[in-house]
A and B are shown apart, each in its own frame.
Chain A
Amino acid sequence: MNGSIPDSSLFKKQGSEVGVSTTLWQTREDEICILRDRETEGLISIRVGFLRSLGFGIVRTALVGNLNHCDVFGQFSSSNRKAIRDEAKWVKYPDSYAGVQVMLESR
């Protein structure tokens, strides 16, 4: 983390990932669902419309236990990651180096 701003490295594809893993935030149940057994992790939210305005595509890729799981596809260039970082909102800070989940808001 860089102060209170999410670091842009959170929006990097990892390893062989084809997209960045996210969850569509429709109800409070989604938040509970993705933090189950991951209490130390953080949460940030980002608007779907903003990602689309940058040219990203969002595809539902349901997982067992997380039916609202989505992958975000597109050009995760430095400037796009900066733009996402600037737009993203912290919902919950992570403990130390724990991971951060990305939730998509459809508003």
Chain B
Amino acid sequence: MLNAALTDERYASSDQTTGSASHLESNKKFMPVPSAKPYNPPIKTLIPLGLRSGVTLDWTQDGKRFPEQMVQIILKFHEFEKLEDNWDGYGARPLNDRVVLPAFELIISRYARQYPSLVLLPDGGIGLRWVNGTREVEIDLEAKGGTTGFYADAATGEVFEIDEDSEPDGVSTLLDRYFSH
């Protein structure tokens, strides 16, 4: 099959010698490729979550139902949103809308093989918790903007933690360790 570079080469050489005739001749070799099945483009749906932060989910329908665990996560965010200032009696802050988008980005990232449990942090941030047997990851998206967390494996004693001064890819490092098993 001809590729574009080859066609250009033919065109260039034919242009200099015999005009466009040979180029037009080569075009005849580009035939439509018959498809085995008719192509149905995936249906994308923009799902507004009804949260103050205005976050929406872009869902590509794959013939399966919308994941029930994701429904539960969205409901959890609604529950968090209802909590007012001092919700724990010790000055805890309400959910900070700035952490909602980063939280969903982590939940539906390449790590979506397992949904985390969620915790509202006293400063209004969100804590994401993944646990699988002896291994676990905690990531706290602080309301003031920092991220802290750790990966731990009780079987091997391995503990790896990130704090607010860690490299920006620290979160990926934690999750890579957790999901690499």
**B89 contacts A9, C-beta separation under 8 Å:** no
- Across the interface, A78 reaches (CB within 8 A) one of B83, B117, B123, B162, namely B162
Task: Say whether B171 faces chain A, with CB atoms less than 8 Å apart.
Answer: no
**A97 contacts B87, C-beta separation under 8 Å:** yes
**B163 contacts A14, C-beta separation under 8 Å:** no
Q: How large is the interface on A (under 10, 10 to 19, 20 to 34, 35 or more residues)?
A: 10 to 19
> Known: A15-B91, A77-B161, A97-B83. Is A7-B150 also a contact (CB below 8 A)?
no
- Across the interface, A7 reaches (CB within 8 A) one of B119, B152, B161, B162, namely B119
Task: Say whether B159 faces chain A, with CB atoms less than 8 Å apart.
Answer: yes
What secondary structure prevails in chain A residues at the interface with B?
loop
Rounded to whole angstroms, the CA-CA distance of A3 and B152 in the bound complex is 18
**A98 contacts B148, C-beta separation under 8 Å:** no
Q: How large is the interface on B (under 10, 10 to 19, 20 to 34, 35 or more residues)?
A: 20 to 34
> Known: A2-B117, A78-B162. Is A98-B91 also a contact (CB below 8 A)?
no
- Across the interface, A9 reaches (CB within 8 A) one of B83, B117, B119, B163, namely B119
Shortest Cβ gap from A79 to chain B (Å): 5
**A79 contacts B159, C-beta separation under 8 Å:** yes
Chain A residues within an 8 Å CB radius of B152: 79, 82
> Known: A14-B92, A99-B89. Is A9-B140 also a contact (CB below 8 A)?
yes
- Across the interface, B89 reaches (CB within 8 A) one of A8, A41, A78, A82, namely A41
Rounded to whole angstroms, the CA-CA distance of A9 and B162 in the bound complex is 15
- Across the interface, A97 reaches (CB within 8 A) one of B120, B127, B140, B161, namely B120
Task: Say whether A12 faces chain B, with CB atoms less than 8 Å apart.
Answer: yes
Interface residues of B (CB under 8 A from A): 83, 87-92, 117, 119-123, 127, 129, 131, 138, 140, 148-150, 152, 159, 161-163
A-B contact pairs, 22 of them (CB 8 A): A2-B131, A7-B127, A8-B127, A9-B119, A9-B121, A12-B121, A12-B122, A14-B90, A14-B123, A21-B90, A77-B161, A78-B149, A79-B150, A82-B138, A82-B150, A97-B83, A97-B88, A97-B120, A98-B88, A99-B88, A99-B89, A100-B88
Interface residues of A (CB under 8 A from B): 2, 7-9, 12, 14-15, 21, 38, 41, 77-79, 82, 97-100
Minimum-distance CB pairs A-B, first 10: A99-B88, A78-B150, A99-B89, A78-B161, A79-B161, A99-B90, A9-B121, A14-B122, A78-B148, A7-B119
